[in-house]
Structure 1
Amino acid sequence: MIVSFGNFETERIYKGYVSKKYPYAIQNTARKKLRMIAAAYKVEDLKIPPGNRLEKLLGGLKNYWSIRVNDRFRIVFKWTMGGAENVEITDYH
């Protein structure tokens, strides 16, 4: 379940709208990945499909996880007992 979004544009994509902040070419894939996060009961559910490349982040984001949208973009989120918080599409490079 998605508890909260890190920004408005990520929420817009999740709800099926087009965002001007992110490239149009990634938005359908990002929407599918956001729906996977929303459907997950536990963070380990996101290991499938393997293309998600679920990763626990380090450093300043040590309590966060990410899955890949493509080589450039990731969806970053904090997993809690209630679900995913601060879910945000980020440009990783």
Structure 2
Amino acid sequence: MIKSFKHKGLRLFFENNDPSKLQPHHIEKIRRILYRLDEAHSIEEVNIVGWGLHQLKGDLKNHWSIKVNGNYRITFRFNVDTFDVDYIDYH
């Protein structure tokens, strides 16, 4: 279950179905990712082929990343629930 967001646009989209703060061509992929994060009880349930799930290193070592498109990623912390969900271009 998603417990918190860092990115206000993701929160608006998740809670109110308002995609206005997100890249329009990313909406459907983001919808699938958020649905999966909200339903997942283990990190393995989020490991979908083609999503590029991986654990980050350095300052974000407790975070995971999923590829949305190009350089855009959804990052999050996971420990039964999902926290600090963010939408970033981190490359």
TM-score clears 0.5: yes
Map Cα deviations across residues 11-65 of structure 1 (whole Å, 9 max, x no partner). Answer: 1122321223x321112211111111111111111112x1111100000100000
Whether 1:84 and 2:85 are equivalent positions in the alignment is: no
**Off by >4 Å, runs of 4+ in structure 1:** none
The alignment's C-alpha RMSD in Å is: 1.3
Amino acid at match of 1:18: P
8 Å contact from structure 1 (residues 68, 75) kept in 2:
yes
Structure 2 counterpart SS, 1:3: coil
In the alignment, structure 1 residue 43 sits paired with structure 2 residue 43: yes
Alignment gaps of 5+ in structure 2: none
Partner of 2:52: 53
Displacement of 1:92: 2.5
Letter in 2 for 1:87: V
Gaps of 5+ in 1: none
Distance 1:36 1:71 in 2: 20
Query: What's the % identity of the aligned pairs?
Result: 33
* CA–CA distance in structure 2, aligned partners of residues 27 and 72 of structure 1: 15
Name the aligned partner's letter for residue 87 of structure 2: I
Alignment coverage as a number of residue pairs: 90
